[in-house]
Amino acid sequence: MEVVRIIKEKSKKYRDYTAENLSQIVRIPSLSGDEEKVIKRIKVKLEEAGFDNVHVDGLGNLIGRIGNGKKILAIDAHIDTVDTGDLNRWEFEPFSGSIKNGMVLGRGSVDQKGGAASMITAGRILKEIGYNGNFSIYFTFTIMEEDCEGLCWKHLIENEKLIPHFVVSTEPTNLGVYRGQRGRMEIELNFKGVSAHGSAPERGDNAIYKASETVLKIEKLNEKLRSDDFLGKGTAAATLITSESPSLCAIPDRCMLYIDRRLTWGETRESALKEVKDIAGKDVTVDVPVYNNKSYKGIPVSQDKHFPVWKIPENHPLIRVGVSTCELLFGEIPVVGKWAFSTNGVVICGIYNIPTIGFGPGNEKYAHAPNERIPVDHLEKASAFYALLPHVMEGI
């Protein structure tokens, strides 16, 4: 395919362009709910690259389109990041965006502005080679994923009516092709007790003791949760416990316990809640919390904190074209794997059953970690992948 040679040449030609674009957007802090400045910067980049249409939707997601085909392919990157954590753990300034020794350094470089920078370059390449294939390619630069994954795509699908036939997530895959992830949910338990003076604990009913007994049962529950050959084992872990009492000299009458629950294939919101309710005892409520916030545009958002498990079959046509694209560009078969963490796929594929794969630059071990960094080589290769994929997908 002549187009393979051309795309490889152009992605190499624009190698420094891609790295510099990433450097620029890393230098703009963009925690969830505070993405406006980086959205504006990327919007200018898309316009300069000649995208057919560029706009910001009602929530605050940025969308760039190339092509006018009847089928829709979406390529997604969330552009919000987590915070820096302990600055003493960093060897460099987290928002420096420095380019050193073949790496772009800084918070968000892997998770996942690297994917966004490669998408900009891919769009530029597609415009320059005059792509006019079967797909309308929507490059989505989405918000608030770190706070509530999938919420941005819930808005795109339900409010903006953007319903792709296929989606590529550019979350880091170390240049592998990923086809799923475990689900995630948060479970909040609120225990009730009876307060009494701390000098006579027998007069009260200690809510901390009730919660503590449940913590030990959660530990045992974790050991026997089901497993999936591909996605691995479901897990349950106590991550937070707080209590309330009239004073530090009083028996607490309320205690809250928070559970992080990872769902493997076959586990659901209902099954996970039932398991916890069965071991929690009496005088306790068990609920899935609801995320409530506003986007940077001031739009109120709300979503249940249950993020479904999802995967697509290894022989799915989208997997096959992803693997073929890698073979054509890089001369080798990629690892077909899964993410350890959660992505926007929980809504795209987990709720709406839209076939989704992952292909992203960078190693996920750097996600949320100090000294986050990404190889420029990966940015170049990811740019080529996103530009070639629609051509390989023509017969899908």
Three-class DSSP labels, the chain: CHHHHHHHHHHHHCHHHHHHHHHHHHCCCCECCCCHHHHHHHHHHHHHCCCCEEEECCCCCEEEEECCCCEEEEEEEECCECCCCCHHHCCCCCCCCCEECCEEECCCHHHHHHHHHHHHHHHHHHHHCCCCCCEEEEEEEECCCCCCCCHHHHHHHHCCCCCCCEEEECCCCCCCEEEEECEEEEEEEEEECECCECCCHHHCECHHHHHHHHHHHHHHHHHCCCEECCCEECEEEEEEEEEECCCCCECCCEEEEEEEEEECCCCCHHHHHHHHHHHHCCCEEEECCEEEEECCCCCEEEEECEECCEECCCCCHHHHHHHHHHHHHHCCCCCEEEECCCCCHHHHCCCCCCCEEECCCCCHHHCCCCCCEEEHHHHHHHHHHHHHHHHHHHHC
The domain boundary, picked from 234, 268, 294, lies at: 294
Q: What pLDDT does residue 396 have?
A: 83
Structural domain harbouring 199: 184-294
CB 264, CB 225: distance < 8 Å: yes
Does 16 share its domain with 147? yes
In a domain, 304, yes or no: no
Q: Which among 57, 145, 149, 267 is annotated as catalytic? A: 145
Residue 80 appears among annotated catalytic residues: yes
The domain boundary, picked from 265, 294, 323, lies at: 294
Q: What pLDDT does residue 30 have?
A: 98
Q: What pLDDT does residue 1 have?
A: 78
Does 135 share its domain with 15? yes
CB 226, CB 267: distance < 8 Å: yes
Q: Which among 35, 80, 171, 186 is annotated as catalytic? A: 80
Residue 228 appears among annotated catalytic residues: no
Tracing tokens 């309330």 back to the chain, one arrives at: 244
In a domain, 257, yes or no: yes
Q: What pLDDT does residue 282 have?
A: 84
Does 254 share its domain with 271? yes
Residues of the chain short of pLDDT 70, as ranges, are none
CATH number, domain at 208? Answer: 3.30.70.360
The domain boundary, picked from 233, 260, 294, lies at: 294
CA distances from 112 to 33, 83, 171, 361, 364 (A): 16, 13, 6, 9, 9
Q: Which tokens is 379 given?
A: 């940015």
CATH number, domain at 168? Answer: 3.40.630.10
Q: What pLDDT does residue 395 have?
A: 80
Does 253 share its domain with 346? no
Q: Which tokens is 327 given?
A: 């073979």
Number of domains in the chain: 2
CA separation for the pair 394, 396 (Å, rounded): 6
Does 70 share its domain with 97? yes
Q: What pLDDT does residue 281 have?
A: 84
